[in-house]
Structure 1
């Protein structure tokens, strides 16, 4: 099984692209979903956030208020680094665990929706291909304001906190331009899906893994018999 990383900017349409992958039977691991899971009340990251940022960033029912927390960290790079240090280890554990489950289910490849793929760089070494979803800057700003209710100033601040889209595109294997119609986006996505499905890369990975397992089992068997032989001789 190989892993395809999908990233882009906030409000460029990554989630919509992921839905097309799911419609074609391809598992998608969403880092944002994992991020929500690891900060549920009582989880280790929840306690660390409470200790670091106080009660102000929590709702009355104990759940994290992501909007209030976002206001804190997007205005202060040091606070953003502290939050990432708290949550990222648990997030990556969660998505890697999900990837292992899909591997044992026999999927040839999966997609990881990683909004901060290039900003953190942590998953780059595990990815076979990278897809960047992009759109025109004015459209991105408009979508974010409509989706979140942010003012223009706040929306621009959120966008500027991420790596510029043109820099992400430079490091992509595939680019989905999502400034036009839904149909156009779907057609671009399906073309990429067909290319990925035609890849034989997953067979090479399975062969290497199988070879490693065979060597490990053979070594274990050899050591076991050597130990047994030594005991018998003595």
Structure 2
């Protein structure tokens, strides 16, 4: 509690979890309770949509073939490329990360000017990127077993087990996320949406929401 009470306002909470963990459900619940939600993936998508600020640099770095007929990033081709080539992933991150950071800072300042108490940074690859932790006051991890992640994503997205496992292989291991956590919300077998929301509400209450 002392960490929360004495942190600057707004408190900058990093929210992360592996695919299928329930992270997005927790993020939406905190937003409903009054937190400012900053979604790193959403910012990235806006930067790479048609007319997005990142597109000229992406076309220069990767070639015009990575831009689709609508003038947006061809996400499927880029996903294949960065999964197969770590150097390509690093090149893409060098383009996107400064732009994401700039937009994030702008949204944080908005929250500060509006008297917000909690800014939630929804960052799927918080642990993997290695760059976010110094910019946050604390980290909340939504946790479940890998087998549960596989079951949920197969059911939700219609992907094969092998496809889901390849996604998991590109993400941090469960132990790495837990090691980076200040708080953990367990969302596995036996946890209902009602109990997950109740636990999330308790966290919101800690921050005065």
**TM-score, with length taken from structure 1:** 0.78
The structure with the larger Rg is 1
Deviation of 1:195 after TM superposition, in Å, equals 1.9
Is 1:16 the equivalent of 2:25? Answer: yes
- Aligned partner of 1:196 in structure 2 is 207
Deviation sequence 1:116-147 (CA, Å, 0-9, x none): 21222222122222100111211211222333
- Aligned partner of 1:124 in structure 2 is 133
Aligned length: 198
Stretch deviating more after TM superposition (89-98 or 143-152): 143-152
Deviation sequence 1:101-126 (CA, Å, 0-9, x none): 11000112211111121222222122
Segments of structure 2 that go 5 or more residues without pairing to the other structure are 1-8
Structure 2 CA distance for partners of 1:149 and 1:79, relative to 1, 3 Å: farther
* Secondary structure of 2:166's aligned partner: helix
Structure 2 CA distance for partners of 1:39 and 1:165, relative to 1, 3 Å: same
Q: 2:73 aligns with which of 60, 64, 78?
A: 64
- Aligned partner of 1:209 in structure 2 is none
Is 1:109 the equivalent of 2:118? Answer: yes
Deviation of 1:55 after TM superposition, in Å, equals 4.0
- Aligned partner of 2:88 in structure 1 is 79
Distance (whole Å) between structure 2 residues aligned to residue 142 and residue 58 of structure 1? 33
Deviation sequence 1:67-89 (CA, Å, 0-9, x none): 33112111221111111111111
**Is the 2:117–2:207 Cα contact (8 Å) retained in structure 1?**
no
Distance (whole Å) between structure 1 residues aligned to residue 138 and residue 105 of structure 2? 17
Is 1:5 the equivalent of 2:14? Answer: yes
Deviation of 1:188 after TM superposition, in Å, equals 1.6
Distance (whole Å) between structure 2 residues aligned to residue 67 and residue 21 of structure 1? 31
**TM-score, with length taken from structure 2:** 0.87
- Aligned partner of 1:31 in structure 2 is 40
Is 1:182 the equivalent of 2:193? Answer: yes
Distance (whole Å) between structure 2 residues aligned to residue 90 and residue 113 of structure 1? 16
Distance (whole Å) between structure 1 residues aligned to residue 207 and residue 186 of structure 2? 18
More helix by share: 1
Deviation sequence 1:183-214 (CA, Å, 0-9, x none): 1211221121122328xxxxxxxxxxxxxxxx
**Is the 2:21–2:149 Cα contact (8 Å) retained in structure 1?**
yes
**Is the 1:28–1:110 Cα contact (8 Å) retained in structure 2?**
yes
* Secondary structure of 2:139's aligned partner: strand
Q: 2:60 aligns with which of 51, 56, 59?
A: 51
